[in-house]
Amino acid sequence: RIRFGNLLFLFVISMLVIPSQVIIYPLYETILNLGFGNSYSGLILAYAAFGLPMSTYLLVAYFRAIPDELIEAARLDGAGELRILFQILLPVSTPAIAAMSILNFVWMWNDLLLPLVIMGGSDNTTLMVGVALLSGQYDVSIPLVSAGLIVALLPVIIIYFLFQRQILNGAISGAVK
């Protein structure tokens, strides 16, 4: 257990109640000051910051559900803390990690606000911003936008079908103790 771990957990979880739209301007200024404006590095940094609270919540809830006897048995066998983490806890928590990864992937893939603000008017942009730019100011080509959305939806569907078992296992293991 980490000293002040519950307080740190409460602080990270409290970030869930702050909408991203509220802090978008300070985030943009910070990314510009760090020199990551109009780049994928700035976008990745913003996604990491916004994805951290939910990921922390999911993983802490999953790790707390793991029986203490499992960790104590590993300690009795002479395993150190890093060995317990990498050889026992991480393999056991693959459903939670898979569910967290898929939720974050879908959120980042479908996001429009952060790429639009951080990437600005650069030529490098995300697929959702490109689909949004397919519609003009006064007219919308419905077939063109629909084709763009179908192309944007295909990777999400493929990822879901590849990892649906892990999502189901993560949901079931989080619900049943």
Q: Where are the domains of the chain?
A: 5-175
Question: Which of the four pLDDT bands, split at 50, 70 and 90, describes residue 177?
Answer: very low
Classify domain 5-175 at the CATH topology level.
MetI-like fold (1.10.3720)
Report whether pLDDT(84) > 80: yes
Q: What is the pLDDT of residue 22?
A: 92
Question: Which of the four pLDDT bands, split at 50, 70 and 90, describes residue 51?
Answer: very high
Residue 141's contacts (CB-CB under 8 Å, 6 or more residues apart) are 134, 135
- Cα separation, 103 vs 115, in Å, equals 18
